[in-house]
Amino acid sequence: MIVIIDYGLGNLKSVLGAVQRLGYEVVISHSVDDLEEAEKLILPGVGAFGDGIRNLKDINLIDPLNELVLKRKKPVLAICLGFQLLAEESLEFGHNKGLGWINATVEKINPDGEDIRIPHVGWNDLFVKNESILWEDVPAGTLFYYTHSFHVKCKDQDIVIGMCKYGIDFVAAIQQQNIYATQFHPEKSQYYGLCVLKNFLEKA
């Protein structure tokens, strides 16, 4: 069973639809029992960092998640805001601490107000930086769908598996052992988005 973590933010239905379409048994839940029973976890998210981390705290999921993911190595795929929450801290709406699972900070795409439209919305190129099960059967030149104003700046480059460019070069995806994350929305990136999702569900 796959569990999509419900912490009150994010397009859960879209992710649910995609996972179901791929033929997996899946539930949307925030019960620790469900998370423990899950074979794999998905941490989606659309919204603000501060709200995200606070919501996770309010429903007492931080300790269980730390245990399941960091200690017991349960595979998790974090998407968009979910990816950003993995970082140590974020500069969105002040200073907020994240889960700290990866050595990274979350910053604005255009801190100096460069002449690009924010949020970054639409289809953009993936530059594969390191091999990963996520990229299997994904051809070079594949585009994925993004919608965000902040990006994850990784201090540890070894975990970076994909990059994208919008004004700046930013991290599109990471893999750190059992932790996978994408800034783009695989559930909204059509055929190859579903392929990435399938790769996680099948091979992680």
> Catalytic residue numbers?
80, 185, 187
Residue 143 within binding range of other proteins, rule CB under 8 A: yes
Nearest-angstrom CA–CA distance, 96 and 89: 5
Name beta bridge partners: 179.
76, 176
SS3 call for 125: strand
Q: Which stretch binds other proteins (CB under 8 A): 29-37, 67-75, 139-147, 168-176?
A: 139-147
Q: Segment contacting other proteins (CB under 8 A): 18-26, 32-40, 94-102, 128-136?
A: 18-26
| Residue 5 or 68 having the CB closest to other proteins | 5
Which lies closer to other proteins via its Cβ, residue 44 or residue 75?
44
Cβ–Cβ under 8 Å, residues 168 and 109: yes
Please, which residue, 52 or 75, has the CB nearer to other proteins? Answer: 52
Q: Which of residues 48-107 bind other proteins (CB under 8 A)?
A: 48, 51, 81
- Please report the sign of the dihedral spanned by the C-alpha atoms of residue 152, residue 153, residue 156, residue 160: positive
The answer to whether 82 and 186 have CB atoms below 8 angstroms apart is no
CA atoms of 186 and 34, how far apart (whole Å): 23
Binding site for other proteins (CB under 8 A): 9, 11-14, 17-18, 20-21, 46-48, 51, 81, 117-125, 143, 145, 147-149, 165-166, 185, 187-191, 193-194
